[in-house]
Amino acid sequence: MRLSLPVLFSFLVALTSLVTLDAHAAGRALRGTVSGCSTIRGLGADIYKNSKPVRACSAINCPIAYFERSPSLLVNTRGTPRVFAATLIDAKGGTLATCGQKACRDCSQGFRYVCQNGGGTNAIAGNAKKRAGSYKVYYKVGSQCVEIPDVGKCKGSVKGLCNQLLH
């Protein structure tokens, strides 16, 4: 069967539209439930890092001394609640760590959540896998949850320890 050029073009436009809709859906609510989450969304425009830099002094232009294995959610998605602290939870809704709100010069919304308790990214990943059978975790911000497919793997960044899988 031969397709005419206009029919083939229409098919490709429709296929491209579906792919674009799917990409935009990453920032909107996902299906499924996790205990304590009224809505679950993908990262959208947010960035997830498995580590954060520690500078040699307090100035932003000081050299980085080392990277701390602390999960960080850099908030770029509008509508994400700005609360004092978020909770990092496993796929069953169990608490893994508390994540304080920090200022963020690289975030369009001006803040991020950094988890500095819970034993670090490696320990958090181990606990998530042991408790819920998955490295998938969620930042619970108010009652909204942001899904992180793998707590040991960065999404949207290549900085810091993002070239490593921390499990």
Domain that holds residue 133: 30-148
Closest C-alpha to 53, from 74, 35, 24: 74
Q: What's the pLDDT score for residue 21?
A: 37
Closest C-alpha to 37, from 139, 150, 114: 139
Q: What's the pLDDT score for residue 59?
A: 82
Q: Is residue 41 assigned to a domain?
A: yes
Q: Is residue 154 assigned to a domain?
A: no
pLDDT tens digits along 116-150: 999 999 999 999 999 999 999 999 999 999 999 99
Does 87 score more than 60 pLDDT? yes
Does 88 score more than 60 pLDDT? yes
Q: Is residue 10 assigned to a domain?
A: no
What is the H or E stretch that residue 85 is in?
strand 85-90
Does 14 score more than 80 pLDDT? no
Q: What are phi and psi of 11, to 5 degrees?
A: -65, -45
Q: Is residue 111 assigned to a domain?
A: yes
Lowest mean pLDDT across 29-43, 92-106, 110-124: 29-43
Does 65 score more than 70 pLDDT? yes
Nearest-angstrom CA–CA distance, 87 and 72: 12
Does 4 score more than 70 pLDDT? no
Does 49 score more than 70 pLDDT? yes
Helix (H, G, I), strand (E, B) or coil at 11: helix
Q: Is residue 130 assigned to a domain?
A: yes
Domains contained in the chain, number: 1
Q: Is residue 16 assigned to a domain?
A: no
DSSP code per residue over 96-153: EEEEEEEE-TT-TTSEEEEE--SSHHHHHHHHHHHHHSSS-EEEEETTEEEEES-TTS
Going by pLDDT thresholds of 50, 70 and 90, the confidence category of residue 30 is low
Q: What are phi and psi of 86, to 5 degrees?
A: -105, 165
Q: How many CB atoms lie within 10 A of CB 36?
A: 14
Q: Is residue 124 assigned to a domain?
A: yes
Question: Quick one: what percent of the chain has pLDDT higher than 70?
Answer: 81
Q: Is residue 22 assigned to a domain?
A: no
Mean pLDDT, rounded, for 81-93: 95
Q: What's the pLDDT score for residue 16?
A: 42
Lowest mean pLDDT across 8-17, 80-89, 135-144, 147-156: 8-17
